[in-house]
Amino acid sequence: MPQRQQALLRSSEADMQLTILSLNSHQIKTERAAARAFNVPRMTLRDRRAGRPARHECQPNSKKLTQLEEEFKLVEETKAKYGICDEDVYNFDEAGFMMGKIQTQLVITGLERRGRPKTIQPSNREWVTVIAAINAAGWTIPPFLIFAGKYHLSA
């Protein structure tokens, strides 16, 4: 909103408050005379005295949602459309780590190399993957561990 419109809005709001104050203190007898004296709209004055807030203090009926609100709205609409309960919504996460004997690492580098040297891991380590899940109602599934297999099963 331009600065000039904001100044006019503040001045008319101040005039409205003075008009209401003068009516409540019985300095002016009627709303019509008070509206004419302070140059404010009579119906707006009547609405304000009845308790209706100023327009700039109200929430707009239609406002743009943020990107995050849009995504949550889409999720809620999809859940309602297909009848999906909170117990049926899960969040899965997986993490991988190395298991094995811990030894000192071997660093191989040349004299002319710049930057970080390359480290070589000992070959006695095994990668393990852990999968964990929790649903929207707060229930958890026990973690699932995946180790490297010795035999490959074909379908």
| In contact, 105 and 117? CB cutoff 8 Å | no
pLDDT attached to residue 66: 84
**Token pair in block for residue 40:** 């404010």
> Dihedral sign, CA of 10, 11, 16, 20?
positive
Is residue 56 scored above 70 in pLDDT? yes
Contact 79, 71 (CB under 8 A): no
In sequence order, the 6+-apart residues with CB closer than 8 A to the CB of 135 are 86, 87, 88, 89, 90, 91
* 118-120/140-146 β-pairing: unpaired
- CB atoms under 10 Å from CB of 137, counted, come to 11
User: Would you kindly state where each structural domain of the chain is located, as residue ranges?
Assistant: 3-57, 87-146
Query: With bands split at pLDDT 50, 70 and 90, how would you rate the model's confidence at 8?
Result: very low
User: Quick check: helix, strand or coil at residue 41?
Assistant: coil
Mean pLDDT value of segment 79-91: 93
Which among 148, 151, 154 has a CA at the least distance from the CA of 126? 148
Determine the average pLDDT of the residues in 59-80: 87
| pLDDT confidence bin for 14, thresholds 50/70/90 | confident
Banded model confidence at residue 77, pLDDT cuts 50, 70, 90: very high
Q: What is the pLDDT of residues 120-134, one digit of tens each?
A: 666 667 788 999 999
User: For residue range 86-145, what is the model confidence (pLDDT) as tens digits?
Assistant: 899 999 999 988 776 556 655 565 666 676 666 666 666 778 899 999 998 999 999 999
Count of beta carbons in the 10 Å neighbourhood of residue 35: 21
3-state helix vs strand vs coil in the chain, percent to 5: 40, 25, 40
Asked whether the predicted pLDDT for residue 33 surpasses 70, the reply is yes
